[in-house]
Amino acid sequence: MVSTTEIERGLLSDNFTIVPRLDQPSTYKDHQYQGSNVQRNDDLARTTTLYVGNLSFYTTEEQMYEVFSKAGEIKRIIMGLSRHTKTPCGFCFVEYYTHEDALNCMKYVNGTKLDDRIIRTDLDPGFKEGRQFGRGRSGGQVRDEYRQEYDEGRGGWGHMRAKQ
């Protein structure tokens, strides 16, 4: 049974599936991460960094500060940029000062709406220079290469669909 609170907090995606276990890291693994699985789990258990996805290309750093400071004091925000144009491409990394604040963000900010989009946060083992750039062929995120639906906030059609 879906509660009103879940709908109000934006925990439901457009097709009404409940986003599961919002306070847990996803199964995402960065294929460029250099350490072992043990090291990665250790990093995640202490991390102060979150990856934030499903952002509109038009959402500003100022808006992010406003939303993410609800979970704790922010150390820095690193905007995700197109490798080619160096313009925002729909993700960012948020660093807090404490692990507890990062966990609070997973609990209370993950799944809420920003610019009418449900944002997804994921605990991240830590930012390294270069990770701020999209890895898709078009310069943006890989997921936007394969996207089949039109998404106005993320540049319209996915790159491969646009080429068809």
Q: How far is the CB of 148 from ligand GTA (least distance, A)?
A: 10
How many Å apart are CA 140 and CA 160, to the nearest integer? 12
7 contact partners, CB below 8 Å, separation of at least 6 = none
146 makes contact with ligand GTA (CB under 6 A):
yes
84 makes contact with ligand GTA (CB under 6 A):
no
Q: Supply φ then ψ for residue 136, to 5 degrees.
A: -70, 160
Choose which of 47, 67, 71, 91 interacts with ligand GTA (CB under 6 A).
91
Of the candidates 64, 24, 49, which has an alpha carbon nearest to the alpha carbon of residue 101?
Answer: 49
47 makes contact with ligand GTA (CB under 6 A):
no
Choose which of 88, 111, 136, 139 interacts with ligand GTA (CB under 6 A).
136
24 makes contact with ligand GTA (CB under 6 A):
no
Tokens of 141: 């995120």
Of the candidates 142, 126, 164, which has an alpha carbon nearest to the alpha carbon of residue 33?
Answer: 126
Query: CB under 6 A: which stretch of 16-24, 25-33, 60-68, 69-77 binds ligand GTA?
Result: 25-33
85 makes contact with ligand GTA (CB under 6 A):
no
